[in-house]
């Protein structure tokens, strides 16, 4: 039969060994629904943090199959805010911390950067780390030092600065 159709026998007897990806597809859909502005690369990072062993190419393929690719035109601000998670409101101390960078110039023109960490309930300044160039590793060291002293918070609020989304924070 294969000779009549000019089909190799290996193609005739081939059985696909594709992995079941229903759980992965569902989790990608959940992440994309809660994190409206996240593309497939950020979804991939979150999946890796959760313990999925999947590469970025597979995440991209599943992301596109479900029609989740981001639009180039930004949606109206009110529409994006509707599907976000509610803000975490601090009800007691050491529950929510807020972190951000402050920059200033010295008299000779050199930059000076400060990482500030604040407890959102008590408005207490937990740490001010000063340096000329602060990186993601510095942020991790400061957070670990504060957590060792006071205990870990439930939530840390940050902006999407390069230091906060770096691989060191993983």
* pLDDT, tens digit, 9 for 90 and up, residues 109-119: 888 989 899 99
The CATH number given to whatever domain includes residue 104 is 3.30.420.10
In a domain, 152, yes or no: yes
Cβ atoms of 59 and 88 within 8 Å: the answer is no
- Last residue within a domain, chosen from 82, 104, 123: 82
Contact 153, 95 (CB under 8 A): yes
At 41-97, the pLDDT tens digits run 999 999 999 999 999 999 999 999 998 877 666 656 655 555 556 676 788 888 888
Per the document, the length of the chain is 170
54 and 104 belong to one structural domain: no
Q: What is the pLDDT of residue 138?
A: 86
> pTM above 0.95?
no
Mean pLDDT computed over 127-155: 88
pLDDT the model gives residue 102: 87
My answer on whether 100 and 159 are in the same domain is yes
H or E element: which one contains 28?
A: helix 22-34
């Amino acid at each position: 039969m294969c000779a009549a159709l000019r089909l190799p026998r290996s193609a005739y007897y081939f059985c696909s060994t594709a992995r079941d990806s229903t759980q992965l597809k569902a989790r990608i859909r959940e992440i994309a629904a809660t994190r409206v502005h996240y593309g497939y690369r950020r979804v991939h990072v979150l999946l890796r943090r959760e313990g999925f062993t999947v590469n970025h190419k597979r995440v991209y393929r599943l992301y596109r199959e479900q029609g989740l690719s981001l639009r180039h035109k930004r949606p109206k601000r009110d529409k994006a805010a509707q599907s976000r998670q509610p803000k975490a409101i601090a009800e007691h101390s050491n529950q929510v911390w807020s972190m951000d960078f402050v920059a200033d110039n010295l008299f000779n023109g050199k930059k000076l950067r400060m990482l500030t960490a604040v407890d959102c309930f008590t408005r207490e300044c937990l740490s001010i780390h000063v340096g000329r160039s602060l990186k993601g590793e510095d942020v991790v060291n400061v957070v670990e030092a504060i957590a060792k002293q006071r205990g870990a918070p439930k939530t840390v609020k940050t902006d999407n600065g390069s230091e906060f989304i770096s691989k060191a924070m993983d």
